[in-house]
Each structure stands twice: as C-alpha cells, then as structure tokens.
Amino acid sequence: MNKFKSNFYWLKTITICLFLVLGHQLIMDAQVGINILVPDSSAVLHLESTDRGFLPPRLTTSEKNAINNPATGLVVYDSTDSTLQYFNGDCWLRTYQRNCDDCYFDMTSTSVADTIDRLIADSVTFQLNIDQVAGSPQNIAFTIINQLPNGMTYSIDPNPIFSSGTVDVTFYVTTFTPDGTYPIVIQALCGSSTINFIYSLTVLPCYEVVLNNSTLKYDLSTDFYNTYPSVPTSQPVCVISTVDPGVTVISDTTITPAYTTGTFPNGSKVAIVNNGNIIGRGGNGGVAFDPANGLTGEGFDGGTAIDLTLDTDIFNNFNIYGGGGGGNAMAFSVSQGVGPVTLGIFLGAGGGGGAGNGRGGQEPGFVIGLSFYGPGQNATGGQFGVEGDGGQLNFPISVPVGPVDIDVDPQVYGGDGGAYGFPGTQGTFTVGVGATINIGPIQVPIGPFPIPIPVPPPAAGDSGNAIKRNGFSTNIPDNSYNTSFLKGTVGN
C-alpha cells in the first residue's frame, strides 16, 4: 500500500512537471495550432481544415456600433451589410476600405433600355438611385464616358449628388440623330470608387426625301407624299429632307418662298439637311412715283428662302440666302416756272433689282410728254448672284420753247438693289432748272432753280428672310445673318 502511494506520488510529480514545461514552452512560443502539429512561425493562431471555416462574431450594424470602446483591430462580421469589418481605432472599416473617408456606394436604375420615336416624344427620362454605404458623406458625380451620336444630348440632374438620393437622367434626340440602338455607359464616381452602368437607347428611323434636281417653289410635303404614296396623310411623320450639292432652289416671285415645309399632320417632325443653294427671289427695283397708275416708287421686298409650317431642325452645310431688297426709284413728274415758261417734265431713275434675279425698275410705258429716265439694272441669281445698280440720269438737257431755252441739270440716281440678305438703298434726286431768253442778239439767263420732289423719297425694299419661322421653332437662333452660308433674317 505504501509502495502504491509512493508510485502515484512520483507519477503525479512527473505529470505536473511536464505540464509546467509544456506551458512554459507554449508561453515562450505564443503559438496555437488547430488541426496542425507545427503552426506557421509567423502565426499566433494557425487553423487548418478542409471542411470548416473560421466564424467570427456576427453582429448587426446596430450591435456592432454599440460595442463599448472597441479595441483597435477588433474583427466582426456585420450581418446587416454582409461584410467582414475591423476597427482601426477611428471607425469600422470594410476589408476593402483604406481609410475612414473611402467612399463606397450602391447604384440602381429604374430602366436599363428605352426607345424614342421622335413623334410622340423626342426625349426619355429615367432615375438612378444612389446609396452611399461607406466613407464620410461626400459628392458623387456622373458623366457619359462614350461618344453619343450626332444630335443626341443628355442632362443629369442633380449632378453631383451629395451622398445618397435620386438623379434624373434625360436623353434628347433630334431628327438629325441617326436611327439605331446605342449602348451608353454612365459612370458614377465617388473618390476612387466608380460604378459603370450600361443603358441601351433605341432611336426609331425617319423617312428620307432627297432633292437632287434644281427646282422652283419646292414644297416638301408634296414631294414626300409623292415619294411615299402609301403613308396616310393623317398620320404624323418624321421626315429628313436632304438638298444635294449643286442643287438650287429659288422662287419665281417674292411672294412665294423658295422652299416651304408644306402641309403635314400635327405632331410631325422635319429636318432639313442643306448641301445646296436655297435662295429667296430678289425684290424688283422701284419704277416711279405715280399713284394714278399704282406706282409708289418703292423698292420691292426680297423673297424668303425657307418658310416653316411646323417645328423644323435645319443643318445648313451650304447656302440659305434671303433675296436682296429692291432699290427705290427717284422718278417724278415735276414742274417749274422759269420766267415766262412753266416746264412740266418727268425726270428720274429706277431702282436696281435685289440679288436673286430682282428686276431693275424700267421706265413706265404710260408716261406721255417730255420725259427722261435712267432704268435700274437687273440683278443676277444663283450662288454668286449680284445686286443691280440703280439707274442714273446725270447729263444736261436743253429744251427749246420758242425764244426760251430751258436748261435742265439732273443729278438723279435710283437706289441700288440689296445683296443677299440686305435691303435695297435709297437714291438721290437733285435737279436744277434754268433758262436763257433769247431777245435778238441779247441772251438773258434766268436761274437755275432747284426743283423739289413732290413727295418724301419712296422707301427701298427690305431683304427677304433666310428662314421665316411663322411662330414655329428651329435650332438656328433668331438674328440677322451675313455669313458665308447664311444671309438674311431668321425670325417670325
């Protein structure tokens, strides 16, 4: 019995010593291996398994944030955000964050694809919903990173957005936008974090009408329904009208425009792609002042190049010219008493024609009696049309009346026609009348006396419109233009 107690004592002593040695070694090495005999030398705790994982504490965001004075490096699994997070001494960081200010966000959209028909609507709007999930609250900016087709624009509002919220994304097209389906990449950026969203926009096609021959008084609607006779005249349409290079469109009168969009159903959309010449007729020069015969002496207004009858986009690659205004006539029936003689005479000069084939003012054929007249010159037309000069009456005239010689010194000039897009000008009228009375060998001079014109000078003709809107809209702003490709007024 004593022998047994003695052996048990020594076994107990050896066991205690062994644990002390192993415990000391464990403390010295500071390593624990689970399912591995030799832990990695760099690890305090080394776990090995082929069918199980490491499970940290699982806390909701509220539970995590309620931890009192978390230690730097404390690790939890946030079950609300489904992310592994650690405390860096200032904030809880997701494993992919570098610091407390790193911005991360989620983005969803109310639509991924839309269609624009250009008739019911020429734009489409959808929303992007933004939720910043990490980092200090900050701006999130948006942009389109691929090139949009011709005629397509966009707006993003608000941009940027602060932290979280909803933005409206709107795409606009015109009749010039080529039809097709376009992938559009919208990029959202917050700090170094980006999200690319791919949106698909389909633009339905328009009908095309090509004008490839020069013509007078072109009506687009007439040409369209001749080209597409099966299209119902009550159905709104989208039409692109192309004027080919070398083609000239002009009117034969200033009352009728060179080009009109014509009559289309309500809701229709039109675009004009001009590669040729659309030219308003030049105004004719004034003839004379003779109200009894319907003549006022005024120059005629130039004609309109394009007359709109609905909202129209215009892409002008060449010439749209309003016709030049006609110059006024300075031609009047006047009388002047000189000594024993009263002289009644018709004197004057006609106005020049406005650029765009405006005719110069010619002598009225009904004038009877003593008359002297300088006709105005015709203008030329086409791309390089030139205005006509006003007529001139500037040579001395001697009229014998019995023993009296009437001497007339006219300096009369009709107004010049206007260049494309310009009004005509006003002429001038200066006439002196004198006389010489012949009494045998004696000559008695009288005068000269100036002859006043009987009325205020007639007005010159105004220029024609390059584009007359008639209350409809176009993409070219209202203004008076004198550029290489656009001459005249755009407006109502």
In CATH, the architecture of 105-203 is: Sandwich (2.60)
**Beta bridge partners of residue 58, listed in sequence order:** 77
Beta strand ranges found along 204-247 (DSSP E): 207-211, 215-216, 218-219, 238-243
- Tokens representing residue 64 in the block: 């995590």
3-state class percentages of the chain: helix first, strand second, coil last, to nearest 5: 10, 40, 50
User: Residues 156-176, buried b or exposed e (16+ Cβ, 10 A)?
Assistant: beeebbebeeebebebbbbbb
State pLDDT tens for residues 164-220. 999 999 999 999 899 999 999 999 999 889 999 999 999 999 999 999 999 999 999
Count of C-beta atoms within a 10 Å radius of residue 442: 7
Q: List Cβ neighbours of 283 (8 Å cut-off, separation of 6 or more).
A: 254, 299, 300, 301, 302, 303, 323, 324, 325, 326, 353, 354, 358, 417, 418, 424, 461, 462, 464
Residue holding tokens 């300088």?
Answer: 374
- Tokens representing residue 288 in the block: 């004379």
Distances (CA, A) of 32 to 24, 27, 39, 41, 167: 13, 10, 7, 10, 53
Amino acid present at 449: F
> Rounded CA gap, 180 and 150, in Å?
12
Provide the pLDDT for residue 478.
98
Phi, psi (degrees; rounded to nearest 5) at 129: -100, 125
- Helix extents (H) in 103-153: none
- Tokens representing residue 460 in the block: 């010159």
pLDDT band at 95 (very low <50, low <70, confident <90, very high): confident
Count of C-beta atoms within a 10 Å radius of residue 315: 18
The 3-state DSSP class for residue 6 equals helix
Residues in the chain, how many? Answer: 492
Residue from 163, 59, 161, 174 nearest 121 by CA: 174
Q: Which one has a higher pLDDT value, 292 or 10?
A: 292
Residue holding tokens 């048990």?
Answer: 8
Tell me if 356 sits within 8 A of 379, measured CB to CB. Answer: yes
69: left (phi over 0), alpha (psi -120 to 50) or beta: left
Provide the pLDDT for residue 38.
93
Provide the pLDDT for residue 4.
43
User: Could you tell me what percent of the chain has a pLDDT over 90?
Assistant: 76
pLDDT band at 368 (very low <50, low <70, confident <90, very high): low
The 3-state DSSP class for residue 492 equals coil
- Inform me whether the pLDDT recorded for 228 exceeds 70: yes
- Write down the pTM of the prediction: 0.73
Residue intervals of the chain classified under CATH 2.60.40.2310 are 105-203
Provide the pLDDT for residue 192.
83
pLDDT band at 489 (very low <50, low <70, confident <90, very high): very high
State pLDDT tens for residues 98-150. 788 788 899 999 999 999 999 989 999 999 999 998 888 999 999 999 999 99
**Beta bridge partners of residue 215, listed in sequence order:** 249
3-state secondary structure 388-449: CCCCEECCCEEEEECCEEEEEEEEEECCCCCCCCCCCCCCEEEEEEEEEEEECCEEEEEEEE
Q: List Cβ neighbours of 319 (8 Å cut-off, separation of 6 or more).
A: 274, 276, 277, 278, 279, 383, 485, 486, 487
Q: List Cβ neighbours of 323 (8 Å cut-off, separation of 6 or more).
A: 254, 279, 280, 281, 282, 283, 302, 303, 304, 305, 354, 355, 356, 358, 420, 463, 464, 488
Tell me if 298 sits within 8 A of 328, measured CB to CB. Answer: yes
Tell me if 438 sits within 8 A of 403, measured CB to CB. Answer: yes
User: Could you tell me what percent of the chain has a pLDDT over 70?
Assistant: 93
- Inform me whether the pLDDT recorded for 17 exceeds 60: no
State pLDDT tens for residues 395-416. 999 888 878 888 899 999 999 9
Q: How many helices (H) and strands (E) does the chain have?
A: 3, 39
Mean pLDDT of the chain: 91
User: Residues 275-306, buried b or exposed e (16+ Cβ, 10 A)?
Assistant: bbbbbbbbbbbbbbbbeeeebbbbbbbbbbbb
